[in-house]
Chain A
Amino acid sequence: MKIKKLKKASCEQLYSNLKNNLSSVKNNYIEHSSEFIPLTNGMERIESGSYDVDDSFYNYRFEQIILKTDSRGTYDFENAKIIYELFEDMSPMDANDERIWIRLTHDHFHKYIVKRWMTGSRSVKDIKRVITERFFYKGDAQAARVRNGISRLWWIAHLTVNLGEENDEKKWALTRAICESQDFITSILERSLGSYSNVRIGILEFYLENKELFGSSKSKKIQALLKDINNYGGVSLLSLMEKEEVKELVSELI
């Protein structure tokens, strides 16, 4: 099936509706009914530059690409793999184009985004913030890429997959590892140190090889570890270290 990008003006219109008319559009973002109509219906799309994707996950009746989910990220690994394989021709430069992500969150993956990110009660201000983060793609910082509900899955996979590995288990080992904790995803990928492949892979490999060291308070341990690594980067350039040096550093800090 062919997925077309929205026109930039359409993206701007959606955002403007949210910014200026939250009370009218709010329910479009927090509910997904069985009579769901894609939020971009009637909006202009670009004819060329579309993506041809496998439709085996597409439910034609509900017009949704089906991803299993709960609100805690239990299936983030499986979904990251699916998204990355669905958009196998996408390059990092292509992945910077908000027009495709906004189309996907508002149409094909609307049900997934609502269930994954929009459950629970929130203040009006908070709802607007979460909608902006998860449905849109605002800004040039790394954080925007790992906050949009679908682009984050692509980037999680892209930054951890070992494309040179034939064995599927080993190919996706680090993707599975990073998805075992939401703290990994936010602490690594939302910080600049997440862009250093030696650091990113060094940390994840260490985690895989020494899971017992993270124990039952994994979340706190990961947060503290990443904070310490970040502080270490204040006096020495993390990006210059070899991967094994990073792993050695992690073993000292854990």
Chain B
Amino acid sequence: MITKSNFSLPYPAIGLEGDFTEGYFSVKPNIYSAEDTLHINEESVEISNEYIKELYDNGVISTVYRIDCPPTFFNFCSSKNKHIEIPLSKLAKFINIEVFLIVTDDIDNYHDDSFNKDYFLGENKGVFQLQKGNIIGFAGSQKITLDSSYTKGGSSLFKFRRSGSQPISIDVEDSLIQVTYPHIDEKLDIINTMPRTKKLTFLNLFIVPALQEAFLNLKKADENDELENYIQEHKWAYILSEGYPNYTTDEPFTCAQNYLQTLLKNGKKESNIPVLDAFYNELS
């Protein structure tokens, strides 16, 4: 997070440069999207200044998350919820997340030796009265761009349909990419079980070819100067064109693999391209 500078309050606040002789305040929220909702979870709060930490541990101060989205005038602020959910329909383009420490109960005697010595020069001799609601700490701000890959994720691209013993087929004419798969064994529901048990097979058998077909059609629409209409009519096209801008230059098979890797990597540790993963597994 980016911390504030060129800003001051009439009392010391942790996180403002120079206000304290030692200590910092930082948070690491976990931010992800799932099922058309943006989730923000407070995972860790680090306060290294002992005085402020004591105030925090005693409940006299608390973290507050402020999320705003200027493009949609959306604003949310909460001190109670450490898990925040915001419908993505209320957001567009980007959000700013700021985290503060605020006073939850009046502090009549806000004073500590770790204040910058300049604060002891005034009449109050470094002793301040703070009211409930006053800001006492800044962890900084973070801007998160809400492109479609982030907000929608892979699950919003596909729908699956089963059919007797027909070969696997892919249809991109609808708002979602439809994958039709053969369904032979009534006891085995491929689409529900395979992603968990045979993930690489599932990805290489269904998802990579589906994405390849999708990118091929996206590229054709762009070459025929019909891209904007195409995107308007096909939700998946909007997501892919934003998530992988190089579709105009890369081959569709390459686009499919790279884009899938991006989706799999989202918010987690590095992942390999699934086709390669399967290859390495077969070799070992």
Known: A140-B94, A239-B76. 7 other contacts (CB 8 A): A48-B229, A96-B92, A140-B93, A155-B73, A192-B70, A195-B74, A235-B10
Of B64, B91, B229, chain A has the most CB atoms within 10 Å of the CB of: B229
Per a CB cutoff under 8 Å, which of B73, B79, B89, B131 touches A195?
B73
- Shortest CB-to-CB span from A212 to chain B, Å, is 29
Assuming the A-B contacts A8-B228, A47-B229, are A96 and B71 also in contact, with contact meaning beta carbons closer than 8 angstroms in the complex?
Answer: yes
Q: Which residues of B contact A96 (CB under 8 A)?
A: 71-72, 92-93
A-B contact count (CB 8 A): 80
Is A119 an interface residue when CB atoms closer than 8 A count as contact? no
Interface 1/0 per residue, B115-141 and A, CB below 8 Å: 000000000000000010111000000
Q: Can you name the residue of chain B whose Cβ is closest to the Cβ of A92?
A: B72
Q: How many chain B residues touch A (Cβ–Cβ < 8 Å)?
A: 30
B90 touching A235 by the CB < 8 A rule?
A: no
Give A241 to B133 CA distance when docked, in angstroms: 8
Contact A235 B75 (CB under 8 A): no
A-side contacts of B232, CB under 8 Å: 46-49
Residues of the B chain whose Cβ atoms lie less than 8 Å from the Cβ of A140:
70-71, 93-94
Please provide the chain A residues from 218 to 243 with a CB less than 8 Å away from any CB of chain B in the complex.
Answer: 234-237, 239-241
Q: Which residues from B are CB-within-8-Å of A196?
A: 75, 77
A2-17 vs B, Cβ < 8 Å mask (1 yes, 0 no): 0000011000000000
User: Chain A: residues with CB nearer than 8 A to chain B?
Assistant: 7-8, 46-49, 91-93, 95-96, 140-142, 145, 155, 158-159, 189, 192, 194-197, 234-237, 239-241
Instruction: Pick the residue among A92, A95, A237 that contacts B77 (CB under 8 A).
Output: A237
Task: Give Cα A140 to B73, complex, Å.
Answer: 11
Shortest distance between the CB of B18 and any CB in chain A (Å): 17
Question: Which of A47, A91, A195 has its CB near the most chain B CB atoms (within 10 A)?
Answer: A195
User: With A92-B92, A140-B70, A142-B73 in contact, do A46 and B102 touch (Cβ < 8 Å)?
Assistant: no
Chain B min CB distance to A202 (Å): 14
Whether B135 contacts A235 by the Cβ 8 Å rule is yes
Complex CA distance for A74 and B68, rounded to whole angstroms: 32
Interface membership of chain B positions 56-86, coded 1 if the CB is closer than 8 angstroms to chain A and 0 otherwise: 0000000010101011111111010000000
A7, B134: Cα distance in complex, Å: 48
The answer to whether B73 touches A145 (Cβ under 8 A) is yes
Q: Does B283 contact A (CB under 8 A)?
A: no
Whether A240 touches B92, Cβ cut-off 8 Å, given contacts A49-B232, A93-B72, is no
A92 touches B134 (CB 8 A): no
- Which chain B residue lies CB-closest to A44? B228
Chain A nearest CB from B152 CB (Å) reads: 13
A46 to B92, CA, bound (A): 21
B9 at the interface (CB under 8 A from A): yes
- Minimum CB distance partner of B88 in chain A: A93
B233 surroundings in chain A (CB, below 8 A): 48
What's the minimum C-beta distance from B279 to chain A, rounded to whole angstroms? 40
Q: Are the CB atoms of A92 and B9 closer together than 8 Å?
A: no
5 A-B interface contacts by CB (under 8 A): A48-B229, A48-B232, A155-B73, A240-B64, A240-B77
B259 on the A face (CB < 8 A): no
B202-250 contacts to A, CB under 8 A, are 228-229, 232-233
Chain A: minimal CB distance from B110 (Å): 13
Neighbouring A residues of B71 by C-beta, 8 Å: 92, 96, 140, 145
- B181 interface residue per 8 A CB criterion: no
Report the separation of the CA atoms of residues A120 and B233 in the bound assembly, to the nearest whole angstrom.
44
- Give the distance in Å from the alpha carbon of A54 to the alpha carbon of B64 in the complex: 45
B100 contacts A by Cβ under 8 Å: yes
